[in-house]
Chain A
Amino acid sequence: MPITKFVMPEVIFGKDSLEQAGEACVRIGAKKALIVSDSGVAGSGWLEKVIQSCREAQLSFSAFIDVTTNPKDSEVEAGCRTFIDQECDAIIGVGGGSALDVAKGIAILATNGGRIRDYEGVDKIHSPLPPMVMVMTTAGSGSEVSQFSVIVDSEREKKMTIISKTLVPDIAIIDPQTLMTKEADLTAMTGMDVLTHAIEAYVSIAATPLTDVQAKNALTLVSRYLRPSVASRTNQEAKEAMAMASLQAGLAFSNAILGAAHAISHAIGGKHLLPHGEINAILLPYVMEYNLIAAPRRFAEMAELMGVDTRGRTQREGGNAAIQFVRELSADIGTPRRLGDVGITREMIRWIASTALEDACMITNPRDMSMAQITQLLENSL
């Protein structure tokens, strides 16, 4: 067995864990924290709780809440200026994937300098980052535990994937309560994102037994609880399960990396600024179909984890059942089914395909992909 490595932050999970944010930040040496968030979170009241916890911990802070969906490099640079001007020495990210990715980006620039595009790719960060506490309020991106940060290069209209162990936050706080304020469609989209993370990590060629455990458990939880979670904002059991699923899927993909669905999703998201979860939800079944022959046994195992009765079926049949399950789930919770539904046209395919091929996530996809194959896949999903 080759050497494997599993990197993760200190994880604080549970109801009201949000209130520990300030104390956690002080614990890792912060004197003044920059709180990075978006206006949505600010309006929900969760940000207020984090700020309250900072006051209680007697931690000075400054706030940067100008984060948008599919965050751009300019936002990171503005945040970094605040960080430096306010003489902060730690970062608290509060929100969904966007806020947390921007928080990471600010951390990179704060100690490494330069522009965010300098760090695109794998392991380009040369200096350690300021202490980071990530408070996840949406469940989905897994950014609170992952070594990923995805930022849009506004000049090139491209989502830059920055991957580095240095990006793994010091402390991750997941408070399932926060999920109760999410709208149903957001719950659905982020839920599909979690599912994509779990599946791509599970079939990744960099998967290890440790990531498998996380991926499988996340898969089980999503299959069981995504529907009820979308159905009811107040289903506490479902919210807690989805929060755990998001966390575990995050741990899995952070260490096992992703696959073609994410590679393509990054390409589309950068150009057209569409919600990440939505695109993943559309692409996932098509990518699964394409990858099926690369790992039929794993796909069959997935079907079992999803609760599909696979007895007497071949691995391929099991795998197809898993794909079918994903399609049905997507239909049930109402996420878009085809790229054409979200405005992607045939003319865009070539650019999307070539960009996706260069994405770091493509490396761990179980089945090799050519330009022709990816174009075919995209055409199928139109």
Chain B
Amino acid sequence: MQTEKDNLIEMLTGIKSSKKNYYTELKKTVEQLEKKNMQLEIMNDITKTIKIDMNLEEIVTYVMEKLRLLMAFDDCRLYLLQKGDPVLVQVYPTSTANTEYRIKNADSSLFWSALTEKKVMQEQISTETTMFAEEDWLISQELLSILVMPLYSINEGIGVLTFGRKEQSGWTTEELEFLEQLTNHVAIILENSQLYNAVLQGKQEWEDTFKAVDDMIMVFDKNLEVFKFNDSAREFLDIYHSSSFYSSLGQTCKAIVQETFNSNTAGFQEIHSKNHVIYEMHTYPVLDNDQQVYGVIAYFKDVTKKRQMEVQLLHSGKLAAIGEMAAGIAHELNSPLTAILGNSQLLIRNTPETDRDYILLNDIKNCGNRCKQIIKSLLTFSRQDEYLFTSYSVNECVRQVLNLLTFQLEKNRISISLSLQQDLPLLDGSQPQIEQVIINLLLNAKDAVEMAKTSHKCISIQTSLEEDCIHVAVEDNGIGIEEARLPLVFHPFHTTKDMEKGTGLGLSVSLGIAKAHGGTIKVISSQGKGSTFILKLPLPDSGKNEVTR
């Protein structure tokens, strides 16, 4: 009782109480403000310095270094959720980076709980009982207090930021408040950065797709100028931009683009360029948010090959029909021919060699045999399995062709010199197709020599083995080809012949066949002196020139 009274008296007289000092309080406030200021400065600094395209490590290292200025911690880690798994992204200081701790997906894990419950967790380590999963690991790191700040966007946990101290000390409300603000901020930054990268990647993917397209894509603006194009278009523009060809092509294109601008609907036109390339041009309007056309995408598809193929297909269809007809005719002819041969042989047997008719009969028999040979060659050529690749002999091809054509050539007083290298290896391929090529070359040579007004018309056929190729050279002493026309002879529909005589497809089809066999056709020519066409066919095992079908 007495002491209580003494106590009260001491309070009354002020021995145990003093006037609260306004200045002291003010100073405290100022100190707090200064600290707050520094926090704000750091926050501001972080926002200012961190650019959206900084990578994650840069951002986090920066934040952690700044934090170091404001509060004490010995270990700071950032875990981010990747496919539902918390993955250690960054450790500060980096010297402790080798001691990675993997967060366990369990309720006993402080880290996991902070993440899933979006709650700040803090613990002091007591050596007595194990309270949570991370304790052993923390002790191994000599960390005695741990703070786990969850990072979350809108409602989803995206990771945790952990702070460890080597002493048992709590965290002040002020520190926690600041860290909470900071982590909110960092979460937003991280999310932005991730979103940015996702958008960037998406854009990159589209750009790559755009680039990967082999066909030309150009985007025209309202002034009909190209403002975007892919790599194929770039090559085209680089090559042709200054040529007159481009300007004429440009005129056509721009007309279509203009139309698309006007009509606001997709457009299409097939364009035949002067360099014998055929394009299919598709145009599509590009709309802005107000549904106004602000650009036109033009898509150029090179359909030259396609067209060529279509014609070839048509042609081979015709050829097939002719072949079939020829086979039919050959069959039909076989029966009367058998009768002719049989009867002539019967007659020969009963005719003494001295008989005047013997020679005539023999001539009938020989011509009959020759007819039979021709028919047989025709049948072979038109056989249905003609496109199967088998082993064949080039020399045999030449002989078969000559069986069919010798008469024609000789009738036109063209002498044929044949020089076939013996022991040529067999090749893989379609014999009828190769025969067709040789026929084409021979017929071209025949036309060439016929047009020449030389008295001695001559075609030579030569086969030879050169390195890893077999060459079939067809040489004529015909009119030859002008130098300027040389590069064009293999173009489809290029012809010097009359309408009814040539389609302009022979050489282009032949080159196609040669290429399908991994080979090629070369031409050497001088005007007025003649031409040599060389069919080069690779040997089966020559490796790099694998047969493409």
B24 proximity list for chain A (CB < 8 A): 128
Q: A128-B24, A128-B25 are in contact. Are A168 and B19 (CB under 8 A)?
A: yes
B12 near A360 (CB under 8 angstroms)? yes
Over the window 1-28 of chain B, the binary record of Cβ atoms lying under 8 Å from chain A Cβ atoms (1 yes, 0 no) is: 0000100110111111111111011000
Of A39-47, A158-166, A304-312, the one touching chain B: A158-166
Task: Let me know if B11 and A128 touch, CB within 8 A.
Answer: no
Taking the closest CB of chain B, its distance from the CB of A121, in whole angstroms, is 9
B14 touches A363 (CB 8 A): no
With both beta carbons as reference points, the residue of chain A lying nearest to B18 in the complex is identified as A165
A166 touches B20 (CB 8 A): yes
With CB as the reference atom, state the residue of chain A lying closest to B4: A363
12-49 of chain B: CB within 8 A of chain A: 12-22, 24-25
Nearest CB of B to A215, in Å: 14
A113-158, CB < 8 A from B: 122-123, 125-131, 147
CB of A344 within 8 Å of the partner chain: no
Q: Using CB atoms, name the residue of chain A closest to B28.
A: A128
Q: Which residues of B contact A130 (CB under 8 A)?
A: 22
Q: How many A-B residue pairs have CB under 8 A?
A: 63
Cβ–Cβ contact B12 & A129, under 8 A = no
Are A257 and B13 closer than 8 Å at their CB atoms? Answer: yes
Q: Is the CB of B20 within 8 A of A5?
A: no
Does A186 lie at the interface of the complex (its beta carbon under 8 Å from any beta carbon of B)? Answer: no
A364 at the binding interface (Cβ < 8 Å) = yes
CA distance A7 to B17 in the complex (A): 11
CB nearest to B17 among chain A residues: A123
Q: Give the contacting residue for A5; candidates B8, B13, B25; CB below 8 A.
A: B13
Do the beta carbons of B13 and A128 come within 8 Å of each other?
no
Chain B residues with CB below 8 A from A245, complex form = none
How many angstroms between the C-alpha atoms of A177 and B113 in the bound complex? 74
Tell me the count of chain B residues lying within 8 A, CB to CB, of chain A: 17
**1/0 per residue B425-448: CB within 8 Å of A?**
000000000000000000000000
Measured between C-beta atoms, what is the minimum distance from A89 to chain B in Å? 10
Contact across chains for A4 and B13 when beta carbons are under 8 A apart:
yes
Q: How far is the CA of A129 from the CA of B23 in the complex (A)?
A: 10
Residues of the A chain whose Cβ atoms lie less than 8 Å from the Cβ of B5: 363
Interchain CA distance A257-B12 in the complex, whole Å: 7
A206 contacts B22, C-beta separation under 8 Å: no
Q: Complex Cα distance A164/B13, Å?
A: 9
Query: In the bound complex, how far is the Cα of B5 from the Cα of A129, in angstroms?
Result: 28
Contact of A231 with B by CB under 8 A: no
- Known contacts A5-B15, A7-B14; A122/B22 CB under 8 A: no
Q: A122-B8, A363-B8 are in contact. Are A128 and B21 (CB under 8 A)?
A: yes
Q: A3 near B: Cβ within 8 Å?
A: yes
Measured between beta carbons, the chain B residues less than 8 angstroms from A205 are 9
Contacts of B19 in A (CB 8 A): 7, 128, 164-166, 168
Closest to B22 in A: A128
- Asked if A178 is an interface residue, CB under 8 A from chain B, the answer is no
- Evaluate contact between A5 and B14: CB separation under 8 angstroms: yes
Check B17 against A255 for contact (C-beta < 8 Å): no
CB of A91, distance to nearest CB on chain B (Å): 12
Q: Are the C-beta atoms of A255 and B14 separated by less than 8 Å?
A: yes
Q: Is A24 an interface residue (CB 8 A)?
A: no
Q: Please name 16 pairs of A and B residues whose Cβ atoms are closer than 8 Å in the assembled complex, sorted by A.
A: A2-B15, A5-B13, A5-B14, A7-B14, A123-B11, A128-B20, A128-B22, A129-B22, A130-B22, A206-B12, A255-B13, A256-B13, A257-B9, A360-B12, A363-B9, A363-B12
Residues of A participating in the B interface, judged by any CB pair closer than 8 Å: 2-5, 7, 29, 122-123, 125-131, 147, 163-166, 168, 205-206, 208, 255-257, 360, 363-364
What is the interface of chain B, defined by CB distance below 8 A to chain A?
5, 8-9, 11-22, 24-25
